[in-house]
């Protein structure tokens, strides 16, 4: 699967049921030696999604549980 195919999918947290963002709006950390994706860095948006805050969330590749047609389900370790 190419990144272009993934870029329009929403990230949903299975633990909290919350929407984390759209994959196309994230940064990707890639292992330079293997080319494998290590994690996604998701910017957090302020009130009504109009203003970007300085906070970011990091989703490790191992936290991805299922990639569907419209969304990607992740299970974070946050309580």
Q: What percent of the chain has pLDDT over 90?
A: 29
- Mean local confidence (pLDDT), 54-70: 87
Beta-carbon contacts of residue 37 (< 8 Å; ≥ 6 apart)? 28, 29, 30, 31, 61
- Mean local confidence (pLDDT), 41-55: 67
Contact between 9 and 67 under an 8 Å Cβ cutoff? The reply is yes
pLDDT number for residue 65: 94
- Mean local confidence (pLDDT), 69-73: 91
pLDDT number for residue 47: 60
Q: Is 50 exceeded by the pLDDT of residue 79?
A: no
| Residue extents of the structural domains in the chain | 3-74
pLDDT number for residue 52: 60
- For 12-33, give the secondary structure using H, E and C: EECCCCCEEEEHHHCEEEECCC
Q: Which residue(s) pair with 78 in the sheet?
A: none
Superfamily of domain 3-74: PRC-barrel domain (2.30.30.240)
């Amino acid at each position: 699967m190419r990144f272009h195919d993934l870029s329009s999918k929403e990230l949903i947290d299975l633990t909290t049921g919350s929407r984390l963002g759209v994959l196309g709006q994230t940064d990707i950390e890639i292992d330079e030696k293997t080319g494998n994706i290590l994690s996604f860095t998701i910017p957090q948006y302020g009130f009504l999604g109009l203003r970007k805050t300085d906070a970011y969330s990091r989703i490790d590749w191992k936290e991805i549980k299922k990639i569907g047609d419209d969304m990607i389900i992740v299970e974070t370790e946050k309580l």
